[in-house]
Amino acid sequence: MMEELLARLSAARSTLALTGSGISAESGLPTFRGTGGLWQTHRVEELASPKGFARNPSLVWSWYNERKSAHQLARPNAGHYALAHLETLTRGFTLATQNVDSLHLRAGSQRVLELHGNLREARCTGCAARRPLGRSGLPLDEIEHACGGRMRPDIVWFGESLPEEVWEAAYDAALRADVILVVGTSAVVYPAAALAQTNAEAYVAEINPEATAISGRVDCVLRGTAAQMLPAIVEALSS
């Protein structure tokens, strides 16, 4: 399995990596659906949705402020750094992440598409105002905006479309990819999960300690963690 993946990566004119919360697990950040995941400990439909925000903006911001503080304390792990290194070793590399923790950027990845937004900024629901988030997010007494709108996390919630230019770039990268690495995602959230299945010609490799919704449809399964497998791939390509 690994040999063929290495050969394909070396020969690839274009490579796409699609990541999910699993790549940040070894940085100490909880995933969504795993044991102890955010969806186990929180009623996410109330928190990560436009309706939930409209109903109780302070509760939603308290949750995102908690996550923002955790992101600040977390550090990129060997998996994040390996993808940043892989970008320099392969041609036409694009990283599309579902994560909002900015750890890929902090690890030095350059071409990063944040499919579900990020927790670096808040934006107003009523006008074009945006503002950076502090280390612990947004003070709850600053949610209401002067225009009458509310500051919300710059995140894509369920039922919301992904940022058009980001989605177009990711979809185009998937169509061009000779190799698609799918790392640390349960592949249940669309349209992000579709990126792994859009291009029948691509060689798709999944890196995940557990089986996922697409394990039966990929060309290569590396059953291990991101911080184990990705450095091994980069090591082999660099030698």
Minimum separation from the CB atom of position 92 to ligand BV8 (A): 24
Q: Which of 157, 167, 171, 203 binds ligand BV8 (CB under 6 A)?
A: 157
**Other beta carbons less than 10 A from residue 148's beta carbon:** 10
- Considering only residues 55 through 94, tell me which ones interact with ligand BV8, judged by CB under 6 A: none
- Considering only residues 102 through 121, tell me which ones interact with ligand BV8, judged by CB under 6 A: 116
Listed ranges 28-36, 81-89, 103-111, 170-178: which one lies at the site for ligand BV8 (CB under 6 A): 28-36
Q: DSSP letters along 56-73, please?
A: -HHHHHHHHHHHHHHHHH
Q: Which of 201, 210, 216, 239 binds ligand BV8 (CB under 6 A)?
A: 210
- Considering only residues 178 through 197, tell me which ones interact with ligand BV8, judged by CB under 6 A: 184-186, 188-191
E-assigned strand segments in the chain: 15-19, 93-97, 112-114, 117-124, 130-132, 151-155, 179-183, 203-207, 220-222
Closest CB to ligand BV8 among residues 202, 222: 222
Minimum separation from the CB atom of position 24 to ligand BV8 (A): 8
- Is residue 50 near ligand BV8 by the rule CB under 6 A? no
- Is residue 33 near ligand BV8 by the rule CB under 6 A? yes
Question: Token digits for 90?
Answer: 């392969």
CA dihedral 168, 169, 172, 178 (to 10 degrees): -150
The most distant pair of C-alpha atoms in the chain lies apart, rounded to whole Å, by: 58
State the residue for tokens 């070894």.
Answer: 26
Listed ranges 54-62, 122-130, 153-161, 195-203: which one lies at the site for ligand BV8 (CB under 6 A): 153-161
Minimum separation from the CB atom of position 13 to ligand BV8 (A): 26
Angstrom CA distances, 160 to 114, 117, 197, stand at 14, 11, 21
Q: Phi and psi dihedrals of 168, rounded to 5? A: -60, -45
Minimum separation from the CB atom of position 52 to ligand BV8 (A): 11
Please identify every residue annotated as catalytic.
116
Number of residues in the chain: 239
Minimum separation from the CB atom of position 155 to ligand BV8 (A): 5
Q: DSSP letters along 79-111, please?
A: HHHHHHHHHHHSSSEEEEE---S-HHHHTT-SS
> What does the alpha-carbon distance between residue 225 and residue 79 come to, in Å, rounded to a whole number?
8
- Is residue 26 near ligand BV8 by the rule CB under 6 A? yes
Closest CB to ligand BV8 among residues 11, 54: 54
**Rule CB under 6 A: which residues touch ligand BV8?**
20-23, 25-26, 31-34, 37, 48, 98-100, 116, 155-161, 184-186, 188-191, 208-210, 212, 225-226
